[in-house]
Amino acid sequence: MNSLLNVLLMGQPAEGQSPYSSFIFLLLIVVVFYFFMIRPQMKRQKDLKKFRESIKQGDKVITTGGIYGKINAIKDNHIIVEIDDNVKIKIDKSAILKDSSDISAAK
């Protein structure tokens, strides 16, 4: 019985400590996670969606699989990409990762 009482008393805040301090600390952790992890990821997704909507015929792109090519045609859900002379592949719009000019600008 005495050990059960000790276990229950361990969860109580120490003397002079507010019972809300642990709640505030937990809230602070959630805010930090939002600003350093969730918000930047949402921004990247928004930018990528905006890029995929703005692509046009003739743009050079890179797919998620690492294929470099030039857009030949744009359909509803897919894109025809020319990767070499007379070599065309059909790729889903969601597989387009970025513009190849972004790579040369980063170097």
CATH number at 56-107: 2.30.30
pLDDT digits (tens, 9 = 90+) for 14-46: 566 676 787 888 899 999 989 899 999 999 999
Dihedral sign for Cα 9, 15, 21, 25, please.
Answer: negative
Per-domain boundaries in the chain: 20-54, 56-107
Given a cut of 60, whether residue 59 has pLDDT beyond it is yes
Contact 77, 93 (CB under 8 A): yes
Given a cut of 80, whether residue 88 has pLDDT beyond it is yes
Q: How confident is the model at residue 76 (pLDDT cuts 50, 70, 90)?
A: confident
Q: How far is CA 39 from CA 35, 36, 46, 78, in A?
A: 5, 7, 11, 29
pLDDT digits (tens, 9 = 90+) for 42-58: 999 999 899 888 899 99
Buried/exposed 55-65: b ≥16 CB within 10 Å, e otherwise: eeeebebbbee
Task: Enter the pTM of the model.
Answer: 0.61
Q: Tell me how far apart the alpha carbons of residues 5 and 8 are, in angstroms, rounded to a whole number.
A: 5
On average, the pLDDT of the chain sits at: 82
